[in-house]
């Protein structure tokens, strides 16, 4: 896997309710989490990533949304949610460290 390499994205299919793209540079570490966050959204009907070959890091991501939300909007929201949780975790960790050093 080429994890840690610069991200490269190619859109394969794009309509108002459906999005499919091929992306390089990240693997299960990133996509498994983002997939699970996407699926928390009620407006997301389907979200999945596929690793066509374990030694090649071209990952195919498919998202289908319900009416009223575009897939890219769902993606943006999921990314924001994930970032916020990372930030929360970071703060919680720093707080716990400070408490320990008291």
Partner 1 sequence: MDLRILEKNENSMRFVVTGISTPLANTLRRIILAEVPCMAIDDVIMIENSSVLHDEILALRLGLIPLKTDLDGYNLPEECTCNSELGCNLCRVVLTLDVEAVDETRTVYSEDLVSEDPNIVPVSSKIPIVKLAPGQKVRLEAYAKLGRGVAHAKWQPVSACAYRYVPTVEIDKDVCDNCGDCVDVCPVGVLEKTEDGVKVVNEFECTLCEDCVDACKKNPAAIKVSGNREAFVFYIESTGALPVERIITEALEIYKSKFKEFANQIAVIRNGSEKTD
Contacting residues toward partner 1, per CB under 8 A: 1, 3-4, 7, 9, 11-16, 19-21, 23, 26, 28-30, 32-37, 72, 75-76, 79, 82-83, 85-90, 92-97, 99-100
Q: Confirm if 37 and 81 have CB atoms less than 8 A apart.
A: yes
CB of 2 to partner 1, least distance (A): 9
Around Cβ 43, how many Cβ atoms within 10 Å? 15
CB of 79 to partner 1, least distance (A): 5
Q: Confirm if 8 and 25 have CB atoms less than 8 A apart.
A: yes
CB of 42 to partner 1, least distance (A): 17
What is the Cα Rg of the chain in Å?
16
Task: Name the residue nearer to partner 1 (CB basis): 66 or 76.
Answer: 76
Q: What span, in angstroms and rounded, lies between the C-alpha atoms of 23 and 59?
A: 5
């Amino acid at each position: 896997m080429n994890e840690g390499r610069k991200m490269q994205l190619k859109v394969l299919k794009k309509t108002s309710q459906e999005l499919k793209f091929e992306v390089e540079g990240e693997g299960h570490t990133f996509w498994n989490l983002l997939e699970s966050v996407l699926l928390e959204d009620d407006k997301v009907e389907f979200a999945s990533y596929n690793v066509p070959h374990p030694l090649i890091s071209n990952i195919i991501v498919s998202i289908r949304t319900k009416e009223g939300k575009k897939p890219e909007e769902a993606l943006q929201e999921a990314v924001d949610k994930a970032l916020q949780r990372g930030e929360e975790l970071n703060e919680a960790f720093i707080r716990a460290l400070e408490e320990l050093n008291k």
